[in-house]
Copies of this chain bind each other. A is one copy, B any other.
Amino acid sequence: MSLPHAILTALLERPSSGLELARRFDRSIGYFWSATHQQIYRELGRLERSGCIRALASERPARGRKKEYEVLPAGRAELTGWVSGREDPKPVRDPLLLRMRAAAVVGTDGLPDELRRHLALHERQLADYADIEARDFSARPGTAAGTTTGPAAGTTPGPTEADRLRHLVLRAGMDLERLWVDWLTEALRETSAAPAGPDGA
């Protein structure tokens, strides 16, 4: 039950239409939550029916017309409650780890190429995050100045609480990418060194 809250958060940061939301989910929001435009439209409909959001007045709501939404008090209350609620971390479920385990049984033929491909993808993602950090958070860890959504740029005051939280989220994303880069490097060392063979037991 996280998508509606992701949308509420995004709409509180800035009222948007469905497609604008979809684009934001492909950019800044994308590094901790992803969603397609179909999911977003479906959820916008539910949120509107449940009174959490409202469509801003438009000339005439028709099929191809842009529709902007804003969050209502009920929506903000819902989000506030969710932030402080309880929700256990989900167990890991990673296809690549599963393939690794399967390779222990049927052999590692063809795996190293795939590991190299993933390594390159994660290195790329890490570099992208580093760019975002340099642009939005002054790169010095623990310090921030200026964000995408626009507070405080130019006067260089101390970072706000909100800035520090957003930076923290970005750093989690970077930490995760670094973890996979390191792990894949080690995995390549172990699988490329020895020849592939069907099982060992």
**Chain A residues proximal to chain B, CB less than 8 Å:** 2, 5-6, 8-9, 12-13, 29-34, 76, 79-80, 82-111, 113-114, 117-118, 121-122, 149-151, 160-166, 168-169, 171-173, 175-176, 179-180, 182-183, 186-187, 190-191, 194, 196-197, 199-201
Chain A: interface secondary structure? helix
Copies in the complex: 2
Asked whether, in the complex, the Cβ of A114 is within 8 Å of the Cβ of B95, the reply is no
Given contacts A83-B102, A101-B169, A168-B186, contact A108 B176 (CB under 8 A): no
Which residues from chain B contact A85 at a C-beta distance below 8 Å? 110, 114
Assembly CA distance A35 to B176 (angstroms): 24
Asked whether, in the complex, the Cβ of B190 is within 8 Å of the Cβ of A164, the reply is yes
Which residues from chain B contact A151 at a C-beta distance below 8 Å? 200-201
Asked whether, in the complex, the Cβ of A106 is within 8 Å of the Cβ of B92, the reply is no
Asked whether, in the complex, the Cβ of B103 is within 8 Å of the Cβ of A165, the reply is yes
